[in-house]
């Protein structure tokens, strides 16, 4: 269980730390793709349990790497099974915090089919129990994702409303929610999506009771600097950006144009890592990616 002093240290690390948040939260649906990127083909496992064991092995290798510390990686978002697992002989959240990396948990259960230009979150069954378990394991915050595909005022308003409603329950459990309404960077109306999302998010933030604070995980905007007001909003702990399909080089270039926003990359962080690498090769590759993303985050 995170005591008040530890929570305040974690909050300070996330609010002011010069680094970025690693997204290590690929879930059931995206795990085969993540493993394939890691050089593990689908014939390497015969069951979901074997598949999850392979992805846990990959994540353990990442979080125990000498370069994966709070000096540049200020937080990490975990999949539920990773939170429940061990790395280096310790529970993963405890190992991360020993290294100065603040643990978060992905809590959403995936996306509904597209309607009104957006994909809402599926209902999150058992959320209260999951939040209580995460809190007991020393997790600081959560993350949940929705997707915006076109500039629908009503659709984007509905996504923001749903995100902030669930965020309220998360705050009630003493955890800090990362709200992630991802704008599809391939959307033909990407810029308009950004504008509507900005307006709806500002309204929701302004309506939060005093003292309640959230984090935002957003797609890099089509117009650099658009989210400056969100970065400065008193109800926002930190604004982080997803890579959203950009290559690491392009994501870092776009990120560096947006002052005050730091990275929370997944694929762009892990893309060059391969199962077949020696430990030295693996650590060098991961360290290079961390350095590049860290540099863009503090630009």
Active site residues per annotation = 180, 217
Taking the CA of residue 184 as centre, how many other CA atoms within 13 Å lie in the half-sphere pointing to its CB?
15
Structure tokens at 131: 């939040």
Structure tokens at 173: 């459990």
Question: Quick check: 145 and 108 in contact, CB under 8 A?
Answer: yes
119 φ, ψ (degrees, to nearest 5):
-120, 110
In order of 20, 41, 186, 274, 293, the CA distances from 286 in angstroms are 14, 21, 28, 10, 11
DSSP per-residue string spanning 209-251 = PTT--EEEEEEPPSSTTTTHHHHH-TTEEEEEEE-TT--HHHH
Q: How many residues does the chain have?
A: 299
Q: Where are the beta strands (DSSP E) in 61-189?
A: 73-78, 86-87, 90-91, 102-106, 118-119, 141-148, 176-183
CB neighbours (10 Å) of residue 15? 14
């Amino acid at each position: 269980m995170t005591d008040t002093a530890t929570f305040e240290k974690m909050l300070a690390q996330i609010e002011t730390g010069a680094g970025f948040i690693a997204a290590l939260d690929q879930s059931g649906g995206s795990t085969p793709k993540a493993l394939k990127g890691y050089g593990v083909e689908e014939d390497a496992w015969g069951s979901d349990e074997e598949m999850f064991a392979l992805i846990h092995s990959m994540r353990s290798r990442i979080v125990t790497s000498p370069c994966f510390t709070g000096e540049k990686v200020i937080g990490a978002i975990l999949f539920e099974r990773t939170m429940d697992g061990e790395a280096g002989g310790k529970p993963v959240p405890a190992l991360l915090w020993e290294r100065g990396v603040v643990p978060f948990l992905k809590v959403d259960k995936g996306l509904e089919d597209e309607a009104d230009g957006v994909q809402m979150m599926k209902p999150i069954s058992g959320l209260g129990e999951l939040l209580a378990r995460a809190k007991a394991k020393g997790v600081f915050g959560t993350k949940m994702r929705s997707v915006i595909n076109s500039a629908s005022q009503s659709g984007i308003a509905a996504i923001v409303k749903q995100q902030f409603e669930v965020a309220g329950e998360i705050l009630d459990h003493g955890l800090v929610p990362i709200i992630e309404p991802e704008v599809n960077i391939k959307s033909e109306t990407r810029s308009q999506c950004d504008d509507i999302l900005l307006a709806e998010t500002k309204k929701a933030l302004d309506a939060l009771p005093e003292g309640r604070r959230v984090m935002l995980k957003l797609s890099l905007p089509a117009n650099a600097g658009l989210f400056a007001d969100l970065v400065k909003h008193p109800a926002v702990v930190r604004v982080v950006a997803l890579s959203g399909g950009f290559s690491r080089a392009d994501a870092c270039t776009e990120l560096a144009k947006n002052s005050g926003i730091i990275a929370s990359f997944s694929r762009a962080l892990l893309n060059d890592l391969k199962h077949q690498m020696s430990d030295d090769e693996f650590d060098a590759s991961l360290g290079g990616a961390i350095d590049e993303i860290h540099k863009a985050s503090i630009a």
